[in-house]
Every structure is written in structure tokens, then in C-alpha cells.
């Protein structure tokens, strides 16, 4: 992945993270809510969003390090 591709992916991930932040406030708040409410057998939206946000955070960290190298 070239520098342009990395930058585009970082922008895409930041937009996705911002969307989640607007819905839940922060990753910590979403984690607390998921722990408090649990995962409904009928609706996995909270848990799916939690996993997505964690994955976004992890990938952003990796791409930022790669971009700085």
C-alpha cells in the first residue's frame, strides 16, 4: 500500500470512528454500555459496533506507525 493509499484508508477509518463517536460518545462509554446491557440474542448492534471501533482503533495505530516510518 502506497502513501496515498495509507492516507486514504486513515481518512476512511477516522470518518468511521467519528460516526461511532457521535452515536456513543466514546469507546469507553460503549464498552461500559455493552457490559451493563449485555448482548441481546436478537440484536448484536452494540457488540458489533464495539468490535468495529476496536478494530478501527487498532488499524489506525498500525497505519499511523507505518506512515511515520
Percentage of the chain modeled with pLDDT above 90: 71
Q: Give the Cα separation of 62 and 56 in Å (integer).
A: 10
Predicted pLDDT at 28: 96
Q: pLDDT of 28-39, one tens digit each?
A: 999 999 999 988
Average of per-residue pLDDT across 30-58:
94
If one counts every other C-beta atom within 10 angstroms of the C-beta of residue 31, the result is: 15
Cα dihedral 22→27→30→36 (10° resolution): -160
- 41 vs 49, more confident: 49
Closest Cα partner for 64 from 20, 15, 7, 5? 7
Amino acid at each position: 500500500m502506497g502513501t496515498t493509499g495509507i492516507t486514504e484508508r486513515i481518512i476512511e477509518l477516522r470518518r468511521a470512528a467519528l460516526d461511532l463517536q457521535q452515536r456513543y460518545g466514546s469507546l469507553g462509554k460503549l464498552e461500559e454500555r455493552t457490559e451493563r446491557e449485555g448482548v441481546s440474542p436478537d440484536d448484536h448492534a452494540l457488540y458489533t459496533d464495539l468490535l468495529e471501533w476496536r478494530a478501527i482503533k487498532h488499524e489506525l495505530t498500525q497505519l499511523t506507525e507505518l506512515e511515520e516510518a
